[in-house]
Structure 1
Amino acid sequence: MDESRRAGSWFRRLFARGGARSRLDPTRSDLVVVASCFDDAEACSAALQRAVETEPRLDPDAELLLRHHLFVPERAVSRVSEIAAQDGYLPAEPVLSNPDGLTAVVLQRVQRLDALHCSQERSRMAGLAQRHDGHVAGWDAMQPG
């Protein structure tokens, strides 16, 4: 293969949108948790490594449903959801109130995941929750079982 064709192939792979391949449906009934981290001290890389080594195994090359579990005051739920929607996140139902005055909100989106992007999203969600007087419990990722 000549150099220009090889470079073009690399460029197409890098910026491909998946073509005819369909996106993972977040409402599928066969989704199972394949990775999770609810410990602030654990690195995303460690959680993802554990997920590829244990059952059910994470398929690191496939899309997944990434879910962040936040606790925010009820007054902030709609604003937090609105801000997260700018990055493609949607709230999962149901949103539950807790006796401590905070409301549990799960924000989710379909994506591929690696340690860098997982860490970035984890930090983004922590900042979002903190700016609205809340906190993040952790994250999990789901793929078809």
Structure 2
Amino acid sequence: MGADSWWRRFLRRDTPTQLDANDPSLIVVASSFDDAEACSAVLNEAEGWVADRPAVLRHHLVIPAAQVNAVQVIAAQDGYDTASVDESDPATLILQRVQVLDALHCSQERSRMAGLAQRHDGNALGWDALQPAH
């Protein structure tokens, strides 16, 4: 693979996607709720995941109720929306973003969300990815 090809793929990740994160027909194509499991291993074994196609990457967090808004504001700066949040304390918060998913970016985002949760006295439970059924 030439350098031109790599750059085209890299730049394509930053282009807007047409995937609706709230589309009820999306299915979970990959997930991990095990801190020791590498994103690359999960994606290599994922059935139904289509590389180079947009996916909804969701992060499942448990955050003290008083910290939920602060976490949402910070995550929004990176393009994340709130998929759901419950009214319990601590609250289960699911943040989501549409992106082309690969092991490197998944791992980076997983680490970023774990740090965000920890800085707000919470915990990152895991992640999942959704795509249209093919």
TM-score when scaled to structure 1?
A: 0.81
Corresponding residue number in structure 2 for 1:82 = 73
In the alignment, structure 1 residue 26 sits paired with structure 2 residue 16: no
Structure 1 runs, 4 residues or longer, greater than 2 Å off: 6-18
Corresponding residue number in structure 2 for 1:59 = 50
Aligned partners of 1:7, 1:131: CA distance in 2, in Å?
A: 38
In the superposition, relative to structure 1, how do residues 96 and 50 fare at CA in structure 2: closer, same or farther (>3 Å)? same
CA displacement at 1:61 relative to structure 2: 1.4
CA displacement at 1:31 relative to structure 2: 0.3
In the alignment, structure 1 residue 15 sits paired with structure 2 residue 3: no
Gaps in structure 1 of 5+ consecutive residues = 1-5
Corresponding residue number in structure 2 for 1:130 = 118
- The structure with the larger Rg is 1
Tell me the amino acid that sits aligned with residue 49 of structure 1: N
- Number of residue pairs matched? 131
Gaps in structure 2 of 5+ consecutive residues = none
In the alignment, structure 1 residue 120 sits paired with structure 2 residue 114: no
Q: Percent identity?
A: 56
Could you say what the CA RMSD is over the residues aligned between the two structures, in angstroms?
Answer: 2.1
Aligned partners of 2:4, 2:28: CA distance in 1, in Å?
A: 37
SS at match of 2:53: coil
